[in-house]
Amino acid sequence: MAKVFIIGRNINGSIYPIDQFISEFSLNWFLGLPYFDDWETSLRTAVALMFLFTASAHWGKRRPDLIKMVPPALPRPGLIVTITGIVEIIGAIGLLIPTTSSLASAGLAFLLIVMFPANIYAARKGNIINGKPITSLFPRTIIQIIFFTAVILVS
């Protein structure tokens, strides 16, 4: 018999196993959509939305600031920013399709690793995005680790 971790009791006094708690407080609970019945799907959707949001900056008013993040040793920074934005969109869509989600997850994990030197460069240089100083290196690294972990978890 599987071990059940108890986290509390519901209104009727029944015991809440942790898997039921996660299921009830997933996006399914908020939106009532059966697609979001489990935490993996909810996380996959959240990660996809995050990548769609970050990809939008590749063509908006933040584009010049993103181009400045590309280390000078790399050629054609504008093209690099465009390609990474396209890859983020393709990866986000791929996460939402069950047959391609593992491949999309691997691709986005690789993208996060490949783009991390640009984050280091920008943090050390003190770049500005949208008129605000870029996040310093340590918090930026923690954020990247969280994003990377989320991408791996949804594979």
Give me the average pLDDT of each 10-residue run along the chain (155 residues).
Answer: 44 50 52 64 89 91 92 94 97 94 96 93 87 88 93 91
Dmax (CA) for the chain in angstroms is 64
Q: What is the dihedral of CA 2, 149, 109, 135, to 10 degrees?
A: 170
Q: Per the structure block, which two tokens stand in for 83?
A: 């390609």
Residue 9: its pLDDT value, please?
Answer: 45
Residue 5: its pLDDT value, please?
Answer: 42
This prediction has a pTM of 0.75
Q: Could you tell me which of 24, 29, 34, 54 has the C-alpha nearest to residue 150?
A: 54
Angle at Cα 31 formed by Cα 29 and Cα 33, nearest 5°? 90
Residue 146: its pLDDT value, please?
Answer: 93
Residue 36: its pLDDT value, please?
Answer: 58
Q: Which residues contact 121 (CB under 8 A, 6 or more apart)?
A: 69, 70, 71
**Other C-beta atoms lying within 10 Å of the C-beta of residue 145:** 12
Q: Per the structure block, which two tokens stand in for 74?
A: 């790399």
Residue 37: its pLDDT value, please?
Answer: 63
* Calpha distance 78→37 (Å, rounded): 40
